[in-house]
Chain A
Amino acid sequence: MTARICFLGTSHIAAPRRAWTENSGRWPGVTASFVGGHGDTLLQTEITRGVMRPVSDAARSAFHTLSGVDLVNLDGFDALVLTGCQISLSQAVLVHKSMRWIGLPSLPSAANLPAMKPALVSHAAARASLCAMLDDRLGPVLARHLRSGTNVPLWITSQPRYSIAAAKSDKKHVVPYLLARRMGDGPAISALFDDAAARTASAAGATFIPQHPGTIRQDMFTALTFMRGATRLAVDPDRPQPSNDFIHANARYGALVIDQVVAALTGRAPPTLPDMEPSAE
């Protein structure tokens, strides 16, 4: 099988890029290109006859300095993979912060329900809220932008969940995660996210690739194995990440993302993780 894959994305694109750089032989018959840009620079482009060109100085600079290209011939690929484009579990955690639905382990008994502070909503309302929130994120917006100029199959990958190391953090944005985990709602939030992300991607003309289940810890976090030595998109790709970077994953994680994409393209199940370290996390 041969497959030409183009990864487009934000800082999270660095993980699969490094995986590819370090061991492209893992994927025989596959060629991979990587085009990244911070923020919404990838939207500052126009697509004509299947070719994406930057239309702003910021986008031109991103194409040139971060990816070494001036344009992207989208139609020359078999798959376009949008990576790390704000499709994150954090949106589902936000939903959980202000609403609850039947089926959550934390839901009070019927007698105590009226005193519950978050609103009781239907599961469908929670999911619709999350879908609408995700729909405004970069992934689906970029997918629609690309879809307007090319028919190449599109995939959207999940951003990695926060590092399990964040569970010991007192950072404000981690607190809702910890509360949800303590309440036992992590599995339901995680399931809601994967469901909503898949629906949102589909509506944008793309297919969602959820986070590899073998990388997930306690439903809401990513195993340290895949976060230690994290990498992110930068002019200097060797610059070490700060030790408290809970958000970005490493090349090992990136390799699994490529595995998932290749599996999706070939219709095969992604490989399991026989070489993963036993978790002490």
Chain B
Amino acid sequence: MSNPYADLPPRAFWRSGVAMADRSRFPGLYEPRLTLTPATAVATAGSCFAQHISRHLRRAGCVVLDAEPAPAVMPEPVAQAFGYGVFSGRYGNIYTPRQMRQLLEDVLRRRTDPRFVWARDGAYVDAFRPTVEPEGHSSPDEVLVHRTWHLHRVLQMLRRTDLFVFTLGLTECWEDRETGRVFPVCPGIAGGTFNPDEHVFRNFRTTEIIRDLTTIHTHLHRFNPNMQMLLTVSPVPLTATNSGDHVLTASAASKAILRAAADEFVKTTPGTDYFPAFEIVTHPASGGPWFEPNMRSVSAAGVEKVMDIFLSAHGLVAEPAITPPAGPALASASDEDEENVSCDEVLLDAFANHGPQGGVAR
């Protein structure tokens, strides 16, 4: 008897697609709709997990654009501390689609606003990327000059981009009540002063996310009409939630909303695709656990697994990471933290009231 399931491929069935499948490679899990070759000019943005994508794409010989490359003589640890080479622009972590949309609109309008210069420890930082300058600038004007430079460089980069890879991180953010502009971190954490009359908590709903993704897509095509867009959802849970829910359920809700929005957007928007990094890391079927003992940071093995599946689906192979030899006296060492991933959201953890057992005291 004929039925619609009779001719479906193995990937459509749990037993052949998951239970009996080679789960180290997960054949068929990701069948790219977009073209990615070593000649494709890729730009990356998003939450901290997006940094892995840039790094592995470079190792696979792909052209990952860099709007603001570190100056030639700037040592790598300094470059990383100042946000160079982490993403395709020195925009820091972009956690929400609203934040991404806002950046693109700033680029399009060359917009800087002195209201969004934050004071921090006697210095000044850009409220929309407060952690790319660990020591800050000496004046608000200096912040604005640097932001103008940044927006110009990002504009140049976006005009060259063939494939824009955006990793969705969070639904929660803080918004300026007057202007509706959103921040990557809550005011008062990495600069500025929190004021409940000025700063509003936002937890974006699925429809808002879809709307922002659609606007992002439209804006990207203003830079390059042929630009394609690849979405991922970061598997990294929230560091903290202001939703009133437990952070575990808040994380689950946030990721579910982002995942649903990504699905809706990709299914209805040509020239877009979704890569299931979130599923690979978080689903028990993929083995694991792929998290570090803090149950938040994705382990190096987890990242390798995700990126192997991604790259092999595109016919690409990442060269092994080059580990510098243990240097004699003349080499300088740097601490490794979460495989050198920069994550502004982790700053929130400093404000947790950890109890004696490592829990959060209520």
In the complex, chain B residues whose CB is within 8 Å of the CB of A129? 71, 73-75, 78
Indicate with 1 or 0, residue by residue over B191-219, a CB within 8 angstroms of chain A CB atoms. Answer: 00000000000000000000000000000
- The contact size tier of chain A is 20 to 34
A41 to B81, CA, bound (A): 33
**CB of A173 within 8 A of chain B?**
no
In the assembled complex, B224 has its CB within 8 A of some CB on chain A:
no
- By beta carbon, the residue of chain A nearest B72 is A98
B152 pairs with A114, CB closer than 8 A = yes
Please tell me if B1 contacts chain A, counting CB pairs below 8 Å.
no
Q: Taking the complex as formed, is A188 at the interface, i.e. its CB lies under 8 A from any CB of chain B? A: no
Q: Is B130 located at the chain interface by the 8 A CB criterion? A: no
Contact partners of A121 in chain B: CB under 8 A:
71, 74, 82
Point out the residues of chain B lying under 8 angstroms from A174, CB to CB.
none
A97–B149 alpha-carbon span in the complex (Å)? 19
How far, in whole Å, are A201 and B319 apart by their CA atoms in the complex? 38
- Report if A120 contacts B (CB, 8 A): yes
Partner-contacting stretch, out of A75-83, A131-139, A151-159: A131-139
Hey, which chain A residues are within 8 Å of B138, CB to CB? 102, 123
| B329, CB-defined interface residue at 8 Å | yes
Contact across chains for A135 and B332 when beta carbons are under 8 A apart: yes
Instruction: Decide: A136 and B332 in contact? CB cutoff 8 A.
Output: yes
Chain B residues, Cβ within 8 Å of A133: 73, 75
Within 8 Å CB of A43, what residues of B? Answer: 329
Q: Does A99 contact B (CB under 8 A)?
A: yes
Cβ–Cβ < 8 Å partners of A123 in chain B: 137-138
B contact face: mostly helix, strand, loop, or mixed: loop
Give chain A interface residues in 82-134, CB to chain B under 8 Å: 94-95, 97-99, 102, 110, 113-114, 118-125, 128-129, 132-133
B134 interface residue (CB < 8 Å to A)? yes
Contact call B135/A110, Cβ cutoff below 8 A: no
Q: Determine chain A's interface SS by DSSP, over half rule.
A: helix
Assess whether A98 is in contact with B149, with CB atoms less than 8 Å apart: no
Contact B330 A113 (CB under 8 A): no
Which has the most chain A C-beta neighbours within 10 Å: B78, B135, B145, B149? Answer: B78
Q: Does B148 contact A (CB under 8 A)?
A: yes
B68 at the interface (CB under 8 A from A): yes
User: Would you call A124 and B134 a contact (CB within 8 A)?
Assistant: yes
List residues of A (30-86) whose CB comes within 8 Å of B's CBs.
40, 43
How distant is the Cα of A125 from the Cα of B77 in the complex, in angstroms? 11
Q: Are B73 and A97 interface neighbours, CB within 8 A?
A: yes
Residues 70-95 of B at the A interface (beta carbon under 8 Å)? 70-75, 77-78, 81-82
Q: Residue A145 at the B interface, CB < 8 A? A: yes
| Distance, CA A99 to CA B330, complexed state (A) | 25
Q: What residues of B have a CB within 8 angstroms of the CB of A120 in the complex?
A: 145-146, 149
B136 close to chain A: CB less than 8 A: yes
Q: Write out the residue numbers on chain B whose beta carbons fall within 8 Å of the beta carbon of A102.
A: 137-138, 142, 145-146
Q: Are A128 and B330 interface neighbours, CB within 8 A?
A: no
* Residue of chain B at shortest CB distance from A114: B152
The residue from B69, B77, B149, B330 contacting A141, defined by CB atoms under 8 A apart: B330
B331 at the interface (CB under 8 A from A): yes
Verify if B133 is at the interface (C-beta below 8 Å from A): yes
B81 to chain A, nearest CB (A): 7
Give the residue name and chain of the B residue nearest to A110 (CB): B145
- 9 other contacts beyond A122-B133, A125-B82, A128-B81, with CB at 8 A cut-off? A98-B72, A113-B149, A114-B153, A122-B136, A124-B134, A124-B136, A125-B78, A141-B329, A141-B330
